[in-house]
Amino acid sequence: MRVSQMLVPTLREVPAEAEVVSHQLLLRAGFIRKTASGVYTYLPLAQRVLKKIMQIVREEMDKQGGQELLMPIIQPAELWLDSGRWHVYGPELFRLKDRHQRDFCLGPTHEEVITTLVRGDVRSYKQMPLLLYQIQSKFRDERRPRFGLMRGREFIMKDLYSFDRDEAGLEVSYQKMHEAYINIFSRCGVQFRPVEADSGAIGGSSTHEFMVLAESGEAAILYCSACDYAANVEKATTQPTTGPDPSIPKLPLQEMSTPGQRSAEEVAAFLGIEPTQVIKTMFYKTNQEVVAALVRGDRDVNEVKLLNILGALTLELADEKTVEQVTGAPVGYVGPVQLKNIRIVADLDVMAMTNAIAGANKQDVHFINVNPQRDFTPEIVEDIRLVKVGEPCPKCGAHLLEARGIEVGQIFKLGTKYSEILGATFLDENGKERPIVMGCYGIGVSRTMAAAIEQNYDQNGIIWPANIAPFQAIVVPVATKDESQMKVAEELYHTLNQAGVETVLDDRAERPGVKFKDADLIGYPVRIVVGKQASDGIVEMRQRRSGVTEMTSVKDVVTKILELLPTL
Ligand code: ATP
Ligand code: MG
């Protein structure tokens, strides 16, 4: 392409609405324009990047035996009523009616459509494993669309669904996708980590999120400084504290006046001890009950873990009034001893404490010498706490480090959740009818484009990894009026394209400074400047990422670029 003909409306100013780098640069470099909140038009350069990412995705899906299909965006409400999700999906689902007042939605995901499809056409174990995928626009009416392409209301996703006869088959499909995702994100040139994520009540390590590490990421991750353990904070675990230490005598339970001392820190400071000696009692309201959750005073409750352990649908901190009703004491003085009529969930580490401090369920009073088991008995003892940076890795004991991540993909073992509800069964080797075992695997294609920028930019603009760059090279003639320069530039432009290097020619009658600025902003991996020395057959070749610049003879340019590209 000739730059004079391209629709690349670059901007000099940073658009005010854009908070994160990728949003700013995609707007400034002329890749996207907003059509509505969370809804964007991909201009030609963006479309080229997206197509490259999609091509990589397709190749890796196909390599694992995936078959591409295309399902409708518009989905009838009946499918969602059948799965039970019409009423639980909530306001994120874009709903609409047809002229006959029948309900439809715009697909946020396709479990319903594909499970119903497979139910009709897959009958025998011989037809599995089956890996079906599509790449398509998805619609979610996000509560807070933001950060440009990161959290859109319309976005491009690859979604693959696996169908297997049993858990062992699902495990194989899952591992195939795990491998495919590693290949995809590596080829896209981003730094990423697969992390264990929360899979709801299903438990186990049956879901991984693929996180591009970046400051602007919405997810917090903990990862091991020594081994490959990585998990998002909701899922992260550590090694449990050992104890109680039997050599420490358990002292008699005793009340202690603690006027005005409410938080674990305040009580600890008041009594001249460490917060690690205090039992923190938190009250939560679920859709079914009020529960007390106990963690050590220096720690916080992991609400996701707690919700899963309770098997509840919703969980929120109980208000002060509820706490008073349940305990008879104001917040700050509540504790597990003599607590009646509600379930107590204790963190593993609480059970390892000896002679601890806890609220006495009386205003301005705490108990000292509280000993779990002796003084109270929790209904549930589990890991319910948030793990913090610096704690030991659950696998190898080395220190955990923290990072922020952008979720670009997720793989998930669904099991028989949808096949049972929607009746997708098959006949096994013995002619017995069984539900199909499913998995689902998403990649945010448009989010991946944005995430790549979050990791690859400098003050001058985007630095595209060569594999997903909209074009790989730009040829910039310094003086467009100089015929000999233009001739060299034109020739280079053609030879490069013929050699398979996607190249543009900046033929605009602009000052060189303007062209260089635009080239840097857009982020072409290689820039070739055709200037005064062109008449001697010499041009300048510059790498966008390193800034390394060399003078090279025109006839060597193609070979040099072809050598260089895989390294950029
Ligand atoms: P998030 O927690 O970020 O909302 P999700 O768990 O809802 O993501 P999935 O349903 O697993 O996402 O969708 C698969 C992939 O689609 C995600 O890993 C992400 O890359 C992408 N994605 C999800 N929601 C959006 C969105 N609103 N805009 C852009 N990409 C998205
Ligand atoms: Mg979401």
Tokens 């940073």, located at residue: 14
Entry field: residues in the chain: 568
Residue 203: pLDDT over 70: no
The pLDDT of residue 504 is 98
Place 198 in a pLDDT band, splitting at 50, 70 and 90.
confident
Rounded average pLDDT over 10-14:
91
Tokens of 314: 């919703």
- Pick from 36, 16, 44: which is nearest to 28 by CA? 16
* 532 exposure class (CB count in 10 Å sphere: 0-12, 13-18, 19+): exposed
- Residue 508 DSSP label: -
Q: What is the DSSP string of 117-176?
A: HHHHH--BGGG-SEEEEEEEEEE---SS-BTTTTB-SEEEEEEEEEEESSHHHHHHHHHH
Place 204 in a pLDDT band, splitting at 50, 70 and 90.
low
Under 8 Å between Cβ of 97 and 103: yes
pLDDT digit string (tens) for 34-88?
A: 999 999 999 999 999 999 999 999 999 999 999 999 999 999 999 999 999 999 8
CATH fold match for the domains 3-237+401-454 and 254-382: no
Tokens of 437: 């075992």
393/563 Cα distance (integer angstroms): 42
Instruction: Using most ligand atoms within 8 A of CB, pick from 54, 195, 447 the residue to mutate for ligand 1.
Output: 447
Tokens of 281: 């009692």
24 close to ligand 1 (CB < 6 Angstrom): no
Rounded average pLDDT over 115-135:
97
- Residue 224 CA to ligand 2 center (angstroms) comes to 26
- 114 half-sphere exposure, CB direction, 13 A CA radius: 24
- Residue 200 CA to ligand 2 center (angstroms) comes to 14
456/413 Cα distance (integer angstroms): 32
Residue 207: pLDDT over 60: yes
- Residue 283 CA to ligand 2 center (angstroms) comes to 28
Superfamily grouping for domain 3-237+401-454? Bira Bifunctional Protein; Domain 2 (3.30.930.10)
Domain 471-567 top-level CATH class: alpha beta
The pLDDT of residue 243 is 80
Any bridge partners for residue 232, and if so which? 221
282/332 Cα distance (integer angstroms): 9
Under 8 Å between Cβ of 139 and 109: no
Residue 205: pLDDT over 80: no
277/2 Cα distance (integer angstroms): 71
137/117 Cα distance (integer angstroms): 20
Q: Whose CA is nearest to atom 27 of ligand 1?
A: 151
pLDDT digit string (tens) for 167-177?
A: 999 999 999 99
Under 8 Å between Cβ of 276 and 394: no
What average pLDDT does the structure give for the chain?
95
pLDDT digit string (tens) for 220-254?
A: 999 999 999 999 999 999 998 888 888 999 999 99
pLDDT digit string (tens) for 319-376?
A: 999 999 999 999 999 999 999 889 999 999 999 999 999 999 999 999 999 999 999 9
What are the two backbone dihedrals, phi and then psi, of residue 288, each rounded to the nearest 5 degrees? -115, -30
The pLDDT of residue 165 is 97
The pLDDT of residue 245 is 87
142 close to ligand 1 (CB < 6 Angstrom): yes
538/553 Cα distance (integer angstroms): 4
pLDDT digit string (tens) for 513-559?
A: 999 999 999 999 999 999 999 999 999 999 999 999 999 999 999 99
Q: Which ligand is nearest to the CA of 160?
A: 1
Tokens 């595209």, located at residue: 464
Residue 562: pLDDT over 80: yes
pLDDT digit string (tens) for 246-277?
A: 899 999 999 999 999 999 999 999 999 999 99
- Pick from 184, 177, 106, 169: which is nearest to 138 by CA? 106
Rounded average pLDDT over 136-141:
98
Tokens 């299909």, located at residue: 69
- Residue 444 CA to ligand 1 center (angstroms) comes to 6
Q: What is residue 53's three-state secondary structure? A: helix
Task: Return contacts of 262-268, CB within 8 angstroms, 24+ apart.
Answer: 262/331, 262/332, 262/333, 263/332, 264/297, 264/298, 265/297, 267/297, 267/357, 267/366, 268/297, 268/357
Query: Ligand 1 atom closest to Cα of 109?
Result: 10
Query: Ligand 1 atom closest to Cα of 140?
Result: 27
155 close to ligand 1 (CB < 6 Angstrom): yes
Any bridge partners for residue 106, and if so which? 74, 94
- Residue 61 DSSP label: H
The pLDDT of residue 241 is 83
- 38 half-sphere exposure, CB direction, 13 A CA radius: 16
Segments of 288-436 assigned E as strands:
290-296, 315-317, 343-347, 356-362, 365-370, 380-382, 400-415, 425-427, 433-435
Task: Return contacts of 535-539, CB within 8 angstroms, 24+ apart.
Answer: 535/484, 535/485, 537/488, 539/488, 539/492
pTM exceeds 0.85: yes
163/144 Cα distance (integer angstroms): 34
The pLDDT of residue 103 is 98
Domain 254-382 top-level CATH class: alpha beta
The pLDDT of residue 240 is 83
Tokens of 116: 């119903």
Q: What is residue 346's three-state secondary structure? A: strand
523 close to ligand 1 (CB < 6 Angstrom): no
Q: Give the DSSP H or E segment for 193.
A: strand 192-196
152 close to ligand 1 (CB < 6 Angstrom): yes
523/472 Cα distance (integer angstroms): 9
- Write down the domain spans for the chain: 3-237+401-454, 254-382, 471-567
What are the two backbone dihedrals, phi and then psi, of residue 137, each rounded to the nearest 5 degrees? -75, 135
407 close to ligand 1 (CB < 6 Angstrom): yes
pLDDT cut 90: percent of the chain above it:
94
